[in-house]
């Protein structure tokens, strides 16, 4: 199994004493789509990540914005103060209120940081309101939202994107309209509906968007929508991602500590290593390290 260097392209850090992550508090019902938040409602900092990842050869990581309340550039300024000696949070995907008047300024200020390589957008709408991350099913076609993601391309930033299969059509529209914009899909494209119809919708959606060469995918938090996960169930999802995007546009990542609700750090990477063992050494290196190094300019 793979034993080379690993770049984790998706994780979060937070200090709850700063009061910037109300979504982690039981009094905030804004994020019903993620169950079990009480299990991760504690500080999670560089030393915590180093402790959890010690069984794996993690050489660098990418910090993904964690719904920082207020000015999202404040999260980036905070990340700049953290210890980089162990490679944790070597690069950042920042936040910006895409589609809102303040987004243009936030994007420009985020782009001024050398470690910021992208901005995250969330389109994850579901017919079941309890599974929604956004309230507007047509957010991806909103002219103001589209204007702001075009600004990412102008600043040389990636669009990091959370989506459900229901958004496959609009995601392909975006990729075709902005061919110079690198889009990186989070969490396997979120196979949230586990019944046969839902899984087929997810498979078809990934195939549809993978036709665009400027879209890549992160095989991350594999237990998020698979509470009774097994090696085989994760393998089916991971290999479909790889079949669609190839090893050149796929990356393994953790989403720690959010993924801790279903899987330990060791379980995530041990599972990935078992799944990838059938691939060539070069392909494994792409999935665990090389692609993240390229996409996040490490």
Which 3 state secondary structure label does DSSP give 75? helix
CA distance 181 to 175: 7
pLDDT of residue 32: 59
Task: Output the CA torsion 66→72→78→79 (10° steps).
Answer: 50
Rounded to 5 degrees, what are φ and ψ at 31? -120, 70
pLDDT of residue 227: 85
**Spatial CB neighbours of 258, under 8 Å, sequence gap ≥ 6:** 12, 34, 40, 221, 224
Q: Across residues 40-57, what is the average pLDDT? A: 96
pLDDT of residue 28: 58
Q: What pLDDT, in 10s, does the model give residues 129-182?
A: 999 999 999 999 999 999 999 999 999 999 999 999 999 999 999 999 999 999
Q: What pLDDT, in 10s, does the model give residues 144-156?
A: 999 999 999 999 9
Q: How much is the pTM? A: 0.96
CA distance 192 to 196: 11
Q: Across residues 62-75, what is the average pLDDT? A: 96
Query: What are the helix (H) ranges across the chain?
Result: 46-52, 73-80, 103-111, 143-154, 168-177, 196-210, 231-245, 265-276, 281-285, 291-295
Q: What pLDDT, in 10s, does the model give residues 187-228?
A: 999 999 999 999 999 999 999 999 999 999 999 999 888 889
CA distance 210 to 253: 19
pLDDT of residue 31: 57
First to last CA, the chain: 24
């Amino acid at each position: 199994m793979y034993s080379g260097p690993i770049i984790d392209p998706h994780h979060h850090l937070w200090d709850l004493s700063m009061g910037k992550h109300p979504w982690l508090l039981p009094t905030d019902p804004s994020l019903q789509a993620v169950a079990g938040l009480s299990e991760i409602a504690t500080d999670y900092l560089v030393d915590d990540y180093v402790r959890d990842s010690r069984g794996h050869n993690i050489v660098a990581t990418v910090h993904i914005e964690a719904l920082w309340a207020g000015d999202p550039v404040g999260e980036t300024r905070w990340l700049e103060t953290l210890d980089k000696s162990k490679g944790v949070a070597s690069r950042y995907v920042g936040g910006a209120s895409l589609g809102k008047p303040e987004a243009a300024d936030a994007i420009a200020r985020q782009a001024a940081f050398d470690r910021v390589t992208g901005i995250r957008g969330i389109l994850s709408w579901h017919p079941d309101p309890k599974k929604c991350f956004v309230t507007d099913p047509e957010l991806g076609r909103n002219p103001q939202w589209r204007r702001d993601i075009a600004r990412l391309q102008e600043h040389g930033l990636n669009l990091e994107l959370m989506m459900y299969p229901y958004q496959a059509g609009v995601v392909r529209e975006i990729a075709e309209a902005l061919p110079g914009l690198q889009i990186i899909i989070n969490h396997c494209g979120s196979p949230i509906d586990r019944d046969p119809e839902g899984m087929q919708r997810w498979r078809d959606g990934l195939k549809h968007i993978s036709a665009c060469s400027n879209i890549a995918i992160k095989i991350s938090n594999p237990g998020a929508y698979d509470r009774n996960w097994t090696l085989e169930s994760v393998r089916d999802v991971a290999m479909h991602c790889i079949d669609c995007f190839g090893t050149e546009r796929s990356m393994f990542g953790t989403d720690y500590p959010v993924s801790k609700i279903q899987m330990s750090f060791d379980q995530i990477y041990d599972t990935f290593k078992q799944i990838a063992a059938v691939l060539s050494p070069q392909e494994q290196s792409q999935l665990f390290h090389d692609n993240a190094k390229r996409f996040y300019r490490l």
